[in-house]
Structure 1
Amino acid sequence: MDYSTFLKMIHNEIEHTSRPAGRHQIIRFMKPHQYWDCLDQLRKMKSSLSKLQYIRASHLIKALIVPLPSSARLIHSHNEVIIEQDTKIKVHSASARIPKPESSLGVPWGVKQIRAPKAWSTSTGHKIKIAVIDTGADYQHPDLRHSLARGINLLNRNMLPLDDNGHGTHIAGTIAAANSMEGIIGVAPRSVIYPVKAFDNQGSAYVSDIILGIDWCVRNRVDIINMSFGMRTKSKALLDVVNRATKQGIVIVASSGNDGKRRSIDYPARYAQTISVGASDENRQIADFSNRGPHVDIYAPGKNINSCWVQGRYHEMSGTSMATSHVSGAIALLMAEKPGLSPDEIKNLIRKTATPLRSRKATRGAEQGGELHALRLLREGMKL
């Protein structure tokens, strides 16, 4: 393949095409050497063809992320490349509200319900690196001040991954808030959050952003990736990057979605490589909005969850997003005391140590799985 001609074609398409902001084509190469040869040529040509600077690369899946809409015509039929069109993806939150002042502080009910406080005498998740691919985080929040690493802003690489939505800060708070005197406590208060800002202020991103985010996570050797978002369509590129990250030993926790479906969940939670999470309520029943069924590995508190919010505030939110953050925190408690467990071993332990759910009469027999039990997870894991 003549990579020089191929890259010139891409440059011309970028130059002459008006595109929706954020949308890309994902160009994957059939063989690794083809990717590296094209990347080498790209480096040589960037200085003379200015639009090539907008191309991003994922070494993990040997792909170029090119800012072009689906209408742009590249070499779709060429046997050296596979071109996948970008897909929009949304965070999984169902609702948000400001909590009553008296309920804003202390240990949130969900953290108590999974028995995390009883585990803190053994583990607080010390130094476990958790990437939260989301809307960013509030670096000034008093409960998160000592819990946040620099991370990355994929929407503007020159800026910190500051949260302009609130969702990412909420997730970070449930995992690792650490302000016992005046604020709230998360599941793993000594773990370290690496915010990966892939989502805009509306809670929207593209699959290409998630691919680049996971690629960054692997390069920076995080232990856990929290993915509180989803979509209904498959993506081969996203599956590939999830698979490769898992093979590197990274545990990926993903939310099942908020459509109340009985037998189906969103991607990427539906991929077997992830730990898929549904939401439960204070009665240990599946929350009415949560997707459920055989594809869900574990349920965790996800209804009326109080956590951190932007501008140093607190919000209650509901959604499978909130459930997922409880699971990521519980895994951090385990990994801090038992490093070296594989993602499959951790998934099996989570399922094995779950608390049985309480079924509603109308749905008895149709729902499977149990609710997360952080203390039992830690104890059983330490026996291995």
Structure 2
Amino acid sequence: MDIATFLHLLHEEIGLTKRSGKKHIIHFSSAKDYYACKSALKRMKSQFVNLSKVRDLNIIHAFSCTLRPDTKLRGISGVPIIEEDTKISVHQAMSNKTTSRRSSNLSGYHTIPWGIDQVGAPEVWNKSVGQNIRIGVIDTGIDYNHPDLRNSISRGINLLNRSMLPYDDNGHGTHIAGTIAAAGRHTGIVGVAPRAIVHPVKAFDYAGSAYVSDIIAGIDWCVHNDLDIINMSFGMKTYNRSLEQAVLNAYYRGKVIVASSGNDGKKKTVDYPARFPQVVSVGATTRLGKIAPFSNRGKQIDIYAPGERVYSSWLNGKYNELSGTSMATAHVSGVIALMLSIKPMSPLQIKNALRRCTTGLSKRGSTRWKPGHLNARRAIRAARQV
């Protein structure tokens, strides 16, 4: 492939892209071609301004940019594979009323939401609080000013506008972060792992929508910054090769990926990326410990966790109850932080330990393994036995 010619044509094509343009992912036939093109792109950006709009997706050896659907690049011999980017959405089934008050179940001046209590997190805080475990939350961003999150947030990235902080303009990401690691100094709610560190990765817009390329860029950022856990409370129905490649590469670099199964109430199907075997796949339960009617279920589910009317942090320092497998996933990420704070483990060891230490849900006496309910005490014990 003539790299210089390709980049000249790419510059021209981006320049011709108007309102009809759509995001695309450009794959290279070999790592050698990718690195050669990446090097040339760096050199040519100052001369060809449109090339500055090309995003590097290092984790899958690809680029992303906006092109016309009928881009002429496809018809040129030797040009890399060009695929149209795909939309993906956060997993939120239902929103209840927003409030500025704390709910019941107080611990001193703090509130322990029912889900955190049900998974047994308070019982193990004398053993682990997730100290120094770093969690990337690829979502809608975070409310930096929320009093319960100020002590739990570290550096993040806004993939929609890299010159801005990853401020949350939707609420979903702030809610997820609160369940994982909220730690109000004197009042407010407490998350599953109150000493874990959340790194907000804003890939989703105000409507809770993102492109796969944004997710891949988010995974790439988490891997590059050596985070321990990647929380992915979102999903899509169709298989995507680029997303799978990013997940695989993160997995092989020791990153624990936790994803929600979806909110369609389907009995034998799970959304992607939760369906990938390298991911800890999470379904949702109700306050009564039953599988939530909205939760997808199936053999790909690894574990169930609280997902019905989950009380957590919200925009403008407020609180909200949300339902969805997204909320369940946040509980699991928090418990994994508790486990990793006890002992370093590989993603496979984490997944096997979680599957081994569940409670309830399945009928005992069955010889076939079925996913059960998240339990922090058993998870800590399993971590120590690894």
Aligned counterparts of 2:69 and 2:327: Cα–Cα separation in 1: 33
- Is 2:283 the counterpart of 1:278? yes
- Is 2:380 the counterpart of 1:375? no
Matches within 5 A, 1:1-384: 1-19=1-19, 23-75=22-74, 78=77, 81-98=80-97, 101=101, 103=103, 106-179=111-184, 181-339=186-344, 341-357=345-361, 368-384=370-386
Aligned counterparts of 2:336 and 2:312: Cα–Cα separation in 1: 19
The alpha-carbon deviation at position 82 of structure 1 amounts to 2.3
Amino acid at match of 1:70: P
Q: Deviations over 1:210-266 (max 9, x none)?
A: 011111111100000000001111111110010000000000000000000110111
Aligned counterparts of 2:137 and 2:103: Cα–Cα separation in 1: 25
Q: Deviations over 1:290-313 (max 9, x none)?
A: 000111111100000000001000
Q: Deviations over 1:179-233 (max 9, x none)?
A: 2631000000000000000000000000000011111111100000000001111
Q: Structure 1-normalised TM-score? A: 0.94
Whether the 8 Å CA contact 2:362–2:371 is kept in 1: the answer is no
Aligned counterparts of 2:137 and 2:202: Cα–Cα separation in 1: 8
The alpha-carbon deviation at position 366 of structure 1 amounts to 12
Whether the 8 Å CA contact 1:301–1:326 is kept in 2: the answer is yes
Whether the 8 Å CA contact 2:132–2:341 is kept in 1: the answer is yes
Aligned counterparts of 1:351 and 1:62: Cα–Cα separation in 2: 33
Aligned counterparts of 1:63 and 1:228: Cα–Cα separation in 2: 24
Look up the SS of the partner of 1:64 in the other structure. Answer: strand
Q: 1:77 to 1:36 in 2, by over 3 A?
A: same
Look up the SS of the partner of 2:13 in the other structure. Answer: helix
Q: Structure 2-normalised TM-score? A: 0.94
Task: Give ranges in structure 2 of 5+ residues lacking alignment.
Answer: 105-109
Whether the 8 Å CA contact 1:293–1:368 is kept in 2: the answer is no
Whether the 8 Å CA contact 2:6–2:79 is kept in 1: the answer is no
Q: Deviations over 1:81-118 (max 9, x none)?
A: 22221000000001112266452761000001111111
% of aligned pairs identical?
53
The alpha-carbon deviation at position 321 of structure 1 amounts to 0.3
Amino acid at match of 1:129: R
Aligned counterparts of 2:334 and 2:156: Cα–Cα separation in 1: 18
Whether the 8 Å CA contact 1:259–1:289 is kept in 2: the answer is yes
Task: Give ranges in structure 1 of 5+ residues lacking alignment.
Answer: none
Amino acid at match of 1:66: C
Look up the SS of the partner of 2:166 in the other structure. Answer: coil
Amino acid at match of 1:148: I
The alpha-carbon deviation at position 20 of structure 1 amounts to 6.1
Aligned counterparts of 2:368 and 2:83: Cα–Cα separation in 1: 36
Aligned counterparts of 1:139 and 1:15: Cα–Cα separation in 2: 37
Look up the SS of the partner of 1:84 in the other structure. Answer: strand
Whether the 8 Å CA contact 2:13–2:68 is kept in 1: the answer is no
- Give the count of matched residue pairs: 378
RMSD, aligned CA: 2.0
Larger deviation: 324-333 or 60-69?
60-69
Whether the 8 Å CA contact 1:132–1:195 is kept in 2: the answer is yes
Q: 1:274 to 1:13 in 2, by over 3 A?
A: same
Whether the 8 Å CA contact 1:353–1:373 is kept in 2: the answer is yes
Q: Deviations over 1:128-170 (max 9, x none)?
A: 0000000000010000010001200001111110000000000
Q: 1:271 to 1:383 in 2, by over 3 A?
A: same
Look up the SS of the partner of 1:278 in the other structure. Answer: strand
